[in-house]
Amino acid sequence: MSCCLKAGFSFYGSNDLASKNRAKGSFRVCSSIQTLQYKESSNPRECLGKTLHLSDQKHVTNFVTKSPKSDPPNTSLRWWEKSLHQNMIEIQSAQELVDSLLNAGERLVVLDFYSPNCGGCRTLHPKICQLAEMNPNSLFLQINYENHKEMCDSLNIKVLPFFRFYRGAEGRACSFSCTNATIKKFKDALAKHGTSSRRLGSAKGLDESELSALASRGLISRNLVTNSSKDYEADVFSIR
């Protein structure tokens, strides 16, 4: 029996077999595969086996096994959009800020004022995300200074990064600026205002002066200023 590979390779079982005429029952292997055809030798004495013909138009080397492509990691996120948690919300307007504070109930609310161009904000961001994850009952509201300059000016924000803590009827509990080196200031504020079990009543939200400043710029309705003042007086009276 002889084996012939059309790609240019020939193999013979022995010298004696190589001297014999190739029988019709010879075994032929082509350089490509797809269909298999078996034909019986016309002379059983010459070849007791069967002829295997492999033919097709595609070369063997064209068959390459490829692993499924996996989706590339999302690298389009900007630094202030990374590592966010469910209790971290990007504020889109002054009205959303007011509503978020009023609807927070007795939860601690942290206002995080930042700028994409602030190196200190960028360095501090991963740690703020970690603290947000460790305090799921607190609400972290992110405010992009570059997108809300009028609102930040109305709230008297002069330095970045800057934080304000609000909780229940107390309204603003504290405000400060800190960096990566002074992160302990942030942790201490969380421990003091975030774990208190004292009942504080309905959320007060922004101070009346802050609401008035926002309303004067047309960022919120003036009705919110009057309503907030009445609600706060009612809460104070009920506590007494």
CA distance 84 to 133: 9
The answer to whether 210 touches 155, Cβ cutoff 8 Å, is yes
CA distance 56 to 64: 16
Model-wide pTM > 0.85:
no
Domains of the chain from N-terminus onward: 2-60 (no CATH), 79-239 (3.40.30.10)
Tens digits of residue pLDDT in 79-111: 988 988 999 999 999 999 999 999 999 999 999
3-state secondary structure of 215: helix
| H helix runs in the chain, sequence order | 15-19, 94-102, 119-134, 149-154, 183-194, 208-216, 223-239
| pLDDT beneath 70: ranges in the chain | 1-75, 196-198, 226-240
Query: To the nearest whole percent, how much of the chain has pLDDT over 70?
Result: 61
- Give the residue numbers annotated as catalytic, written as ranges: 118, 121
Mean pLDDT score across all residues of the chain? 77
CA distance 173 to 188: 13
Element (H, E) at 9: strand 9-12
3-state secondary structure of 113: strand
Torsion over CA of 150, 156, 162 and 166, rounded to 10 degrees?
Answer: -100
